[in-house]
Chain A
Amino acid sequence: MITTSTLTTLAATGPGFLSPTGVEIAFLLVGLVTLGAAVVTVTTKQLVHAALWLVVALGGLAVEYLLLTAEFIAWVQVLIYVGSVVVLLLFGLMLTKAPIGRSPDADSGNRPVALAVAVAAAAALVWVVVDAFRTTWIDLDGPVQGATKVTGEILFQHWVLPFEALSVLLLAALVGAIVLSRKNKAAAEAEALTTTAPKKPTTGPKKEQR
Protein backbone atom coordinates (compact mmCIF):
# COMPACT_ATOMS: atom_id res chain seq x y z
CA MET A 1 0.00 0.00 0.00
CA ILE A 2 2.79 2.39 0.86
CA THR A 3 4.64 1.59 -2.32
CA THR A 4 1.57 2.01 -4.48
CA SER A 5 0.75 5.36 -2.91
CA THR A 6 4.29 6.64 -3.41
CA LEU A 7 4.27 5.36 -6.95
CA THR A 8 1.07 7.19 -7.72
CA THR A 9 2.47 10.40 -6.28
CA LEU A 10 5.68 9.95 -8.21
CA ALA A 11 3.81 9.16 -11.36
CA ALA A 12 2.18 12.58 -11.61
CA THR A 13 0.36 11.38 -14.73
CA GLY A 14 1.63 13.46 -17.59
CA PRO A 15 -0.13 13.84 -20.90
CA GLY A 16 -1.27 10.77 -22.72
CA PHE A 17 0.47 8.80 -25.40
CA LEU A 18 -1.52 10.48 -28.15
CA SER A 19 -0.04 13.90 -27.50
CA PRO A 20 3.70 13.27 -27.33
CA THR A 21 6.15 15.96 -26.48
CA GLY A 22 9.10 16.82 -28.66
CA VAL A 23 11.49 14.89 -26.46
CA GLU A 24 9.29 11.82 -26.77
CA ILE A 25 9.19 12.07 -30.53
CA ALA A 26 12.96 12.40 -30.68
CA PHE A 27 13.35 9.49 -28.27
CA LEU A 28 11.01 7.37 -30.37
CA LEU A 29 12.81 8.11 -33.64
CA VAL A 30 16.28 7.53 -32.23
CA GLY A 31 14.96 4.42 -30.50
CA LEU A 32 13.71 3.04 -33.81
CA VAL A 33 17.10 3.66 -35.39
CA THR A 34 18.84 2.02 -32.43
CA LEU A 35 16.58 -1.01 -32.48
CA GLY A 36 16.94 -1.40 -36.23
CA ALA A 37 20.70 -1.22 -36.01
CA ALA A 38 20.68 -3.78 -33.21
CA VAL A 39 18.53 -6.14 -35.26
CA VAL A 40 20.85 -5.78 -38.25
CA THR A 41 23.80 -6.41 -35.92
CA VAL A 42 22.48 -9.76 -34.84
CA THR A 43 21.17 -10.84 -38.24
CA THR A 44 23.67 -9.71 -40.87
CA LYS A 45 25.82 -12.27 -42.60
CA GLN A 46 28.84 -10.01 -42.89
CA LEU A 47 30.81 -10.02 -39.70
CA VAL A 48 32.51 -6.65 -40.10
CA HIS A 49 29.19 -5.03 -40.94
CA ALA A 50 27.82 -6.37 -37.67
CA ALA A 51 30.51 -4.47 -35.77
CA LEU A 52 29.81 -1.30 -37.73
CA TRP A 53 26.07 -1.55 -37.13
CA LEU A 54 26.88 -2.03 -33.47
CA VAL A 55 28.47 1.43 -33.61
CA VAL A 56 25.14 2.83 -34.82
CA ALA A 57 23.23 1.07 -32.05
CA LEU A 58 25.60 2.23 -29.31
CA GLY A 59 25.69 5.78 -30.66
CA GLY A 60 21.91 5.84 -30.72
CA LEU A 61 21.90 4.77 -27.10
CA ALA A 62 24.25 7.66 -26.30
CA VAL A 63 21.71 10.02 -27.86
CA GLU A 64 19.00 8.42 -25.73
CA TYR A 65 21.08 9.11 -22.63
CA LEU A 66 21.37 12.73 -23.71
CA LEU A 67 17.60 12.92 -24.13
CA LEU A 68 17.25 11.51 -20.62
CA THR A 69 19.52 14.36 -19.41
CA ALA A 70 22.33 12.00 -18.43
CA GLU A 71 25.02 13.75 -20.37
CA PHE A 72 28.07 12.36 -18.61
CA ILE A 73 26.87 8.80 -19.18
CA ALA A 74 26.33 9.68 -22.83
CA TRP A 75 29.89 10.86 -23.33
CA VAL A 76 31.28 7.91 -21.40
CA GLN A 77 29.23 5.68 -23.68
CA VAL A 78 30.68 7.33 -26.76
CA LEU A 79 34.22 7.19 -25.41
CA ILE A 80 34.26 3.64 -24.10
CA TYR A 81 31.80 1.74 -26.25
CA VAL A 82 32.06 3.43 -29.60
CA GLY A 83 35.69 4.35 -29.09
CA SER A 84 37.26 1.29 -27.60
CA VAL A 85 34.94 -1.71 -27.36
CA VAL A 86 33.99 -1.71 -31.03
CA VAL A 87 37.62 -1.23 -32.01
CA LEU A 88 38.53 -4.19 -29.81
CA LEU A 89 35.81 -6.26 -31.45
CA LEU A 90 37.07 -5.31 -34.89
CA PHE A 91 40.58 -6.26 -33.85
CA GLY A 92 39.22 -9.57 -32.63
CA LEU A 93 37.43 -10.16 -35.92
CA MET A 94 40.58 -9.42 -37.87
CA LEU A 95 42.82 -11.52 -35.65
CA THR A 96 40.55 -14.55 -35.87
CA LYS A 97 40.66 -14.32 -39.66
CA ALA A 98 36.99 -13.58 -40.05
CA PRO A 99 35.85 -13.58 -43.65
CA ILE A 100 35.36 -10.12 -45.08
CA GLY A 101 32.46 -10.92 -47.37
CA ARG A 102 29.34 -12.89 -46.65
CA SER A 103 29.81 -15.90 -44.45
CA PRO A 104 26.93 -18.33 -44.83
CA ASP A 105 27.56 -19.99 -41.48
CA ALA A 106 27.23 -16.89 -39.31
CA ASP A 107 24.08 -18.26 -37.70
CA SER A 108 24.05 -21.60 -35.98
CA GLY A 109 21.49 -24.31 -36.41
CA ASN A 110 19.36 -23.39 -33.45
CA ARG A 111 18.17 -20.16 -35.01
CA PRO A 112 14.41 -20.92 -34.90
CA VAL A 113 14.68 -21.84 -31.24
CA ALA A 114 16.55 -18.62 -30.56
CA LEU A 115 13.93 -16.63 -32.43
CA ALA A 116 11.13 -18.27 -30.50
CA VAL A 117 12.84 -17.62 -27.16
CA ALA A 118 13.57 -14.00 -28.06
CA VAL A 119 10.05 -13.29 -29.28
CA ALA A 120 8.52 -14.90 -26.21
CA ALA A 121 10.81 -12.94 -23.89
CA ALA A 122 10.11 -9.70 -25.77
CA ALA A 123 6.35 -10.23 -25.61
CA ALA A 124 6.42 -11.02 -21.91
CA LEU A 125 8.76 -8.17 -20.99
CA VAL A 126 6.99 -5.55 -23.08
CA TRP A 127 3.62 -6.61 -21.74
CA VAL A 128 4.75 -6.45 -18.13
CA VAL A 129 6.63 -3.18 -18.55
CA VAL A 130 3.83 -1.41 -20.38
CA ASP A 131 1.31 -2.68 -17.87
CA ALA A 132 3.43 -1.49 -14.96
CA PHE A 133 4.63 1.90 -16.22
CA ARG A 134 1.78 2.96 -18.45
CA THR A 135 1.03 6.14 -16.56
CA THR A 136 4.45 6.87 -15.13
CA TRP A 137 5.86 10.21 -16.15
CA ILE A 138 9.50 11.25 -16.03
CA ASP A 139 9.87 14.91 -15.20
CA LEU A 140 12.79 16.06 -17.29
CA ASP A 141 12.50 19.70 -16.32
CA GLY A 142 14.41 21.33 -13.53
CA PRO A 143 18.12 20.89 -12.87
CA VAL A 144 19.96 18.50 -15.13
CA GLN A 145 20.38 15.29 -13.19
CA GLY A 146 23.22 13.74 -15.10
CA ALA A 147 25.46 16.78 -15.48
CA THR A 148 29.15 16.18 -15.16
CA LYS A 149 29.36 18.24 -11.99
CA VAL A 150 26.59 16.26 -10.30
CA THR A 151 27.98 12.93 -11.42
CA GLY A 152 31.48 13.82 -10.28
CA GLU A 153 30.30 14.92 -6.87
CA ILE A 154 28.21 11.82 -6.40
CA LEU A 155 30.89 9.50 -7.66
CA PHE A 156 33.68 10.87 -5.50
CA GLN A 157 31.65 11.47 -2.37
CA HIS A 158 29.34 8.51 -2.01
CA TRP A 159 30.66 5.94 -4.44
CA VAL A 160 34.38 6.39 -4.06
CA LEU A 161 35.03 2.96 -2.54
CA PRO A 162 33.33 1.00 -5.34
CA PHE A 163 35.12 3.30 -7.76
CA GLU A 164 38.51 2.34 -6.36
CA ALA A 165 37.54 -1.32 -6.27
CA LEU A 166 36.60 -0.98 -9.92
CA SER A 167 40.02 0.37 -10.77
CA VAL A 168 41.54 -2.71 -9.12
CA LEU A 169 39.18 -4.84 -11.21
CA LEU A 170 40.31 -3.13 -14.38
CA LEU A 171 43.92 -3.70 -13.44
CA ALA A 172 43.17 -7.36 -12.78
CA ALA A 173 41.45 -7.66 -16.16
CA LEU A 174 44.43 -6.05 -17.85
CA VAL A 175 46.85 -8.42 -16.18
CA GLY A 176 44.56 -11.35 -16.97
CA ALA A 177 44.37 -10.45 -20.64
CA ILE A 178 48.15 -10.15 -20.82
CA VAL A 179 48.62 -13.48 -19.08
CA LEU A 180 46.12 -15.17 -21.39
CA SER A 181 47.87 -13.76 -24.44
CA ARG A 182 51.35 -14.61 -23.23
CA LYS A 183 50.67 -18.12 -22.08
CA ASN A 184 49.80 -19.56 -25.44
CA LYS A 185 53.12 -18.52 -26.92
CA ALA A 186 55.22 -20.47 -24.43
CA ALA A 187 52.67 -23.20 -23.85
CA ALA A 188 51.98 -23.72 -27.53
CA GLU A 189 55.60 -24.40 -28.29
CA ALA A 190 55.86 -26.74 -25.34
CA GLU A 191 52.69 -28.57 -26.28
CA ALA A 192 53.57 -28.74 -29.92
CA LEU A 193 56.51 -30.91 -28.96
CA THR A 194 54.73 -33.15 -26.52
CA THR A 195 50.97 -33.39 -26.82
CA THR A 196 50.04 -33.38 -30.46
CA ALA A 197 48.78 -36.95 -30.16
CA PRO A 198 45.68 -36.62 -27.89
CA LYS A 199 44.05 -33.88 -29.91
CA LYS A 200 40.82 -34.84 -31.56
CA PRO A 201 40.97 -34.74 -35.34
CA THR A 202 37.55 -33.16 -35.74
CA THR A 203 38.11 -29.96 -33.84
CA GLY A 204 38.91 -27.70 -36.73
CA PRO A 205 39.98 -27.70 -40.32
CA LYS A 206 42.78 -25.19 -39.93
CA LYS A 207 44.60 -26.62 -36.95
CA GLU A 208 47.82 -27.22 -38.70
CA GLN A 209 48.41 -23.53 -39.12
CA ARG A 210 49.79 -23.00 -35.70
Chain B
Amino acid sequence: MHLAYPAVLAALLFCVGLYGVLARRNAILVLMSVELMLNAVNLNLVAFDVWLRDALHAGQALTLFTIAVAAAEIGIGLAIVLMVHRNRGTSDVDKLRDTAEAAADDDPTDADEDAAPDSPAPKAAEAAA
Protein backbone atom coordinates (compact mmCIF):
# COMPACT_ATOMS: atom_id res chain seq x y z
CA MET B 1 0.00 0.00 0.00
CA HIS B 2 1.22 3.44 -0.79
CA LEU B 3 1.91 5.50 2.30
CA ALA B 4 0.25 8.44 0.56
CA TYR B 5 -3.22 6.99 1.05
CA PRO B 6 -3.29 6.94 4.88
CA ALA B 7 -1.26 10.13 5.07
CA VAL B 8 -3.66 12.05 2.81
CA LEU B 9 -6.67 10.62 4.61
CA ALA B 10 -5.21 11.68 7.95
CA ALA B 11 -4.48 15.18 6.66
CA LEU B 12 -8.01 15.57 5.33
CA LEU B 13 -9.58 14.26 8.52
CA PHE B 14 -7.47 16.66 10.55
CA CYS B 15 -8.64 19.57 8.43
CA VAL B 16 -12.26 18.49 8.75
CA GLY B 17 -11.80 18.47 12.51
CA LEU B 18 -10.12 21.86 12.33
CA TYR B 19 -13.11 23.26 10.48
CA GLY B 20 -15.43 21.79 13.09
CA VAL B 21 -13.49 23.27 15.98
CA LEU B 22 -13.53 26.70 14.38
CA ALA B 23 -17.07 26.70 13.02
CA ARG B 24 -19.17 24.92 15.60
CA ARG B 25 -20.99 26.78 18.32
CA ASN B 26 -22.05 24.03 20.71
CA ALA B 27 -19.22 23.02 23.02
CA ILE B 28 -19.97 19.31 22.68
CA LEU B 29 -19.74 19.53 18.90
CA VAL B 30 -16.37 21.20 19.36
CA LEU B 31 -15.33 18.22 21.47
CA MET B 32 -16.46 15.88 18.69
CA SER B 33 -14.28 17.77 16.22
CA VAL B 34 -11.34 17.47 18.60
CA GLU B 35 -11.92 13.73 18.59
CA LEU B 36 -11.74 13.73 14.80
CA MET B 37 -8.41 15.55 14.91
CA LEU B 38 -7.02 13.10 17.46
CA ASN B 39 -8.12 10.19 15.29
CA ALA B 40 -6.34 11.67 12.30
CA VAL B 41 -3.16 11.77 14.36
CA ASN B 42 -3.73 8.16 15.40
CA LEU B 43 -4.06 7.07 11.79
CA ASN B 44 -0.79 8.77 10.97
CA LEU B 45 0.94 7.08 13.89
CA VAL B 46 -0.28 3.62 12.91
CA ALA B 47 0.56 4.07 9.24
CA PHE B 48 4.08 5.27 9.91
CA ASP B 49 4.63 2.54 12.48
CA VAL B 50 3.64 -0.12 9.97
CA TRP B 51 5.79 1.50 7.30
CA LEU B 52 8.92 1.83 9.42
CA ARG B 53 8.57 -1.66 11.00
CA ASP B 54 9.74 -0.27 14.28
CA ALA B 55 11.15 -2.91 16.62
CA LEU B 56 9.60 -1.22 19.64
CA HIS B 57 6.35 -0.40 17.82
CA ALA B 58 6.47 3.08 19.27
CA GLY B 59 3.72 4.27 16.95
CA GLN B 60 1.20 1.72 18.09
CA ALA B 61 2.09 2.18 21.75
CA LEU B 62 1.70 5.93 21.36
CA THR B 63 -1.61 5.38 19.59
CA LEU B 64 -2.90 3.42 22.57
CA PHE B 65 -1.71 6.18 24.89
CA THR B 66 -3.38 8.79 22.71
CA ILE B 67 -6.66 6.89 22.81
CA ALA B 68 -6.50 6.68 26.61
CA VAL B 69 -5.64 10.37 26.94
CA ALA B 70 -8.49 11.21 24.59
CA ALA B 71 -10.87 9.24 26.78
CA ALA B 72 -9.68 11.13 29.83
CA GLU B 73 -9.96 14.41 27.92
CA ILE B 74 -13.52 13.75 26.85
CA GLY B 75 -14.50 12.91 30.43
CA ILE B 76 -13.03 16.09 31.86
CA GLY B 77 -14.28 18.17 28.96
CA LEU B 78 -17.82 16.93 29.34
CA ALA B 79 -17.70 17.55 33.08
CA ILE B 80 -16.62 21.13 32.41
CA VAL B 81 -19.28 21.62 29.74
CA LEU B 82 -21.99 20.26 32.02
CA MET B 83 -20.84 22.54 34.82
CA VAL B 84 -20.86 25.57 32.53
CA HIS B 85 -24.30 24.60 31.31
CA ARG B 86 -25.54 24.25 34.85
CA ASN B 87 -24.10 27.60 35.89
CA ARG B 88 -24.87 29.55 32.75
CA GLY B 89 -27.82 27.82 31.15
CA THR B 90 -25.97 27.55 27.85
CA SER B 91 -23.18 25.55 26.28
CA ASP B 92 -22.56 27.85 23.33
CA VAL B 93 -18.96 28.87 23.17
CA ASP B 94 -19.92 32.16 21.55
CA LYS B 95 -21.83 33.28 24.60
CA LEU B 96 -19.10 32.56 27.15
CA ARG B 97 -17.40 35.88 26.73
CA ASP B 98 -16.70 36.98 30.26
CA THR B 99 -12.96 36.92 29.82
CA ALA B 100 -13.05 38.91 26.58
CA GLU B 101 -11.81 42.44 26.37
CA ALA B 102 -14.44 45.05 27.00
CA ALA B 103 -13.92 46.64 23.59
CA ALA B 104 -14.69 43.38 21.82
CA ASP B 105 -18.34 43.41 22.73
CA ASP B 106 -19.42 45.00 19.47
CA ASP B 107 -17.11 42.85 17.37
CA PRO B 108 -18.03 39.21 17.86
CA THR B 109 -15.52 37.82 15.39
CA ASP B 110 -12.54 39.30 17.16
CA ALA B 111 -12.70 37.52 20.48
CA ASP B 112 -9.67 38.14 22.61
CA GLU B 113 -8.64 35.52 25.09
CA ASP B 114 -6.94 37.80 27.56
CA ALA B 115 -8.71 38.00 30.84
CA ALA B 116 -9.82 41.42 31.82
CA PRO B 117 -8.77 42.09 35.41
CA ASP B 118 -12.05 43.73 36.32
CA SER B 119 -14.21 41.07 34.72
CA PRO B 120 -17.23 40.43 36.91
CA ALA B 121 -17.13 36.71 36.37
CA PRO B 122 -15.96 34.63 39.29
CA LYS B 123 -17.92 31.68 37.98
CA ALA B 124 -16.31 31.74 34.56
CA ALA B 125 -12.87 31.66 36.11
CA GLU B 126 -13.97 28.85 38.33
CA ALA B 127 -15.39 26.88 35.44
CA ALA B 128 -12.30 27.38 33.34
CA ALA B 129 -9.99 26.26 36.13
Contact of A81 among B14, B33, B39, B64 (CB under 8 A): B39
Query: How many A-B contacts if CB must be within 8 Å?
Result: 299
Are B6 and A81 in contact, CB atoms less than 8 angstroms apart? no
Chain A window 84-108, contacts with chain B (Cβ cutoff 8 Å), 1 for yes, 0 for no: 1100110111011110000101111
Shortest distance from the beta carbon of A80 to any chain B beta carbon, whole Å: 5
Given contacts A89-B78, A118-B18, A170-B72, 19 further A-B pairs with CB under 8 A are A34-B13, A57-B13, A58-B39, A65-B46, A73-B42, A81-B35, A92-B82, A114-B23, A115-B23, A121-B18, A125-B15, A137-B2, A140-B50, A154-B57, A154-B60, A154-B61, A158-B61, A173-B75, A200-B98
Q: Which of A1-50 contact B (CB under 8 A)?
A: 10, 14, 17, 21, 23-24, 27-28, 31, 34-35, 38-39, 41-42, 47, 50
Q: How far is the CA of A98 from the CA of B33 in the complex (A)?
A: 17
- Residues of B that sit less than 8 Å from A by CB: 1-9, 11-20, 22-26, 28-29, 31-33, 35-36, 39, 42-43, 46-47, 49-53, 56-57, 60-61, 63-65, 67-76, 78-83, 85-96, 98, 108-109, 120-123, 126
A-B contact pairs, 15 of them (CB 8 A): A35-B16, A54-B36, A57-B13, A64-B6, A85-B71, A114-B22, A122-B12, A136-B51, A145-B57, A154-B56, A174-B75, A183-B83, A187-B126, A204-B88, A209-B89
- Residues of A that sit less than 8 Å from B by CB: 10, 14, 17, 21, 23-24, 27-28, 31, 34-35, 38-39, 41-42, 47, 50-51, 54, 57-58, 61, 64-65, 67-70, 72-73, 76-77, 80-81, 84-85, 88-89, 91-93, 95-98, 103, 105-111, 113-115, 117-119, 121-122, 125-126, 129-130, 133-134, 136-140, 145-146, 150-151, 154-155, 158-159, 162-163, 166, 169-170, 172-174, 176-177, 180-181, 183-184, 187-188, 191, 195, 198-200, 203-210
